[in-house]
Each structure stands twice: as structure tokens, then as C-alpha cells.
């Protein structure tokens, strides 16, 4: 089996703090040419992004891909909704979970895999304030352990 050539463009680090990740999926994404060029330059922000399922299709919303600097008048809209390419069974599964209270779908990372842009999305549940405090405490404890070992 061939080794996949993966180059990470951007990660949503805030997602692991704000949400408890239940399950993750890999999806293709429909992009315009200038968007791909902008992604190659690393001009993307996933922080406020989310996935919405509308009439059996998954859409990536509120993700900012900056306009391509050498682009012309036909440059893309930075905040446009982008269609995700997922299997129908996966979309149904995600849609059922999102209808339950507290679940959402968030993008975790955007990357190139064998020359194609892929997005890793996750079914997630929002953390409560005390869960966030617990995460901060664990992170601080790990940092202190590493300091003491070195």
C-alpha cells in the first residue's frame, strides 16, 4: 500500500479546548482555483468554522480563506460556503447526531493529501466551563512535569 503524502495547512487548536471530540471524519472540499493557491500559501483560519447539513449535503461555513494576492477580478469570496464531499451514510450519521442536543460538527484541520485538499471534521460536544478548567489544569500539570524532568 502506498504511503499518503500529507502536508498540514492549518489546525483548529481551539476546537480541542472548546469541544469534546467524539468521532472524526476526512472529507474532500470543493474549492475554486484561487482558493487552492491561497491555501498553498497557508492563508486560512478555521477558528470560527462549523459544518451544517442542508438538504442532504454537508457545507463548511464561516471558514476564512484569504483572497489570493496575485489574483485578478475573478478572486473568490473569503467567507463563502464550501461544499464537503462525504459519503451519504456518513452525512446521515452526522445529521442524526447533530439533531441531538449539544452535538455539533467542527473542522479540525485542513491539509493536502496526495495533491488534493482535505478537511478533517469532527462530531463534537461542547465542554462546560468546569471541563475547560480541568483541561487547563491537566495541561499545566504536564508542563510542570516536563520542566522537572529536564
Question: Is the pLDDT assigned to residue 1 strictly greater than 60?
Answer: no
Name the nearest CA neighbour of 145 among 137, 13, 14, 135.
137
Domain ranges across the chain: 6-149
Q: How far apart are the first and last CA of the chain?
A: 40
Could you report the per-residue pLDDT of 36-54, keeping only the tens digit for each?
Answer: 888 888 888 888 888 989 8
Place domain 6-149 in its CATH homologous superfamily: Small protein B (2.40.280.10)
Could you report the per-residue pLDDT of 46-93, keeping only the tens digit for each?
Answer: 888 889 898 888 999 988 888 877 767 777 777 888 899 989 898 888
pLDDT at 70: 77
Contacts of 58 (CB under 8 A, 6+ apart): 27, 51, 52, 83, 84, 86, 91, 94, 105, 121
Beta strands in 80-139 (DSSP E): 82-85, 103-113, 116-126
38 CB burial (10 A radius; 0-12, 13-18, 19+):
buried
Whole-angstrom distance, CA of residue 56 vs CA of residue 71: 33
The pTM is what? 0.79
Amino acid at each position: 500500500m502506498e504511503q499518503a503524502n500529507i502536508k498540514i495547512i492549518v489546525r483548529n487548536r481551539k476546537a480541542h479546548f472548546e469541544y469534546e471530540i467524539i468521532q472524526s471524519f476526512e472529507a474532500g472540499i470543493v474549492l475554486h482555483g484561487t482558493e487552492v493557491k491561497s491555501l498553498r500559501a497557508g492563508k486560512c483560519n478555521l477558528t470560527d468554522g462549523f459544518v451544517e447539513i442542508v438538504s442532504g449535503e454537508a457545507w463548511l461555513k464561516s471558514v476564512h480563506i484569504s483572497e489570493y494576492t496575485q489574483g485578478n477580478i475573478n478572486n473568490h469570496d473569503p467567507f463563502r460556503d464550501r461544499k464537503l464531499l462525504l459519503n451519504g451514510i456518513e452525512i446521515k450519521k452526522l445529521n442524526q447526531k447533530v439533531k441531538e442536543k449539544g452535538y455539533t460538527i467542527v473542522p479540525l484541520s485542513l491539509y493536502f493529501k496526495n495533491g488534493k485538499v482535505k478537511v478533517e471534521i469532527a462530531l463534537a460536544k461542547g465542554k462546560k466551563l468546569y471541563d475547560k478548567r480541568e483541561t487547563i489544569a491537566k495541561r499545566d500539570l504536564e508542563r510542570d512535569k516536563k520542566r522537572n524532568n529536564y
